[in-house]
Structure 1
């Protein structure tokens, strides 16, 4: 059974700039948020396009993790992007794991849809916390660059 978590974060940067960062420059998270994101490599497709796949190396909760993340959908009108984890450590806990980012004037909304692999798997609330922290860091980065 699929479950959903959502969080909305206030931003001061322009929604178009915020959306563009995640669509076309997400690999820059290594520079914006180096404590968490260690490397991001485009391994399939083109930057900013549906079907592109990136290999992420990151640290969360003190644990080094990897994830292959595919861009499932892009909607330039709604400024939303859906990412799906297709390989990696998260899929030991979840059968499926998708994140949708939607940027609007003054806020960004993150929706995480997941299905637990086992009933005892935790709710991925660390990723909600990470989404808030990343949003704030990117917002500050965009306001100063």
Structure 2
């Protein structure tokens, strides 16, 4: 049995956590346009949208390396604005026996939780990936700030 771990990080988002949740829940395909240097593509393999049971595939660039992550949506809670993504394929499963990503939003905060089991003790904690998702979150915040600025300036 591997070594289990849990990492949690929260980042303030001035645009409001509800907008970040909305992007991940209903407009996920826009993330590759918002953060093209990090997310190359998002595809739904099974299901129509991001709903419980949907199988999705992310192509992303983490730490200068192109990677993929195939995930199934395990849970969506509109009240807490959370989505639980279970990794079922891709690069993460080369290092981890299981990997679950939970994103949740509350007022001005977005929280990322990673629950995982490393295959061996010498595998590093997924801190680089945590930094990656925080960077994507800040990219989404910047996107909404740009839109707000354009609207206020009448552009």
Per the shorter chain, which TM-score range? over 0.9
Q: Which residue of 2 aligns with 1:124?
A: 126
Pairing 1:114–2:99 present = no
Q: Which residue of 1 aligns with 2:84?
A: 82
Q: Map 1:18-29 onto structure 2 (within 5 A).
A: 18-29=20-31
TM-score between both structures, scaled by the size of structure 1: 0.94
* Rg larger for: 2
SS of the equivalent of 1:2 reads strand
**Consecutive aligned runs of 4 or more in structure 1 exceeding 3 Å deviation:** none
CA apart distance, 1:63: 1.4
CA root-mean-square deviation: 1.2
Q: Which residue of 1 aligns with 2:36?
A: 34
CA apart distance, 1:64: 1.3
Task: Determine if contact 2:13/2:141 at 8 Å carries over to the other structure.
Answer: yes
- The unaligned stretches of length 5 or more in structure 1 are none
How many Å separate the matches in 2 of 1:139 and 1:22? 13
Task: Determine if contact 1:18/1:142 at 8 Å carries over to the other structure.
Answer: no
Pairing 1:73–2:94 present = no
CA apart distance, 1:14: 2.7
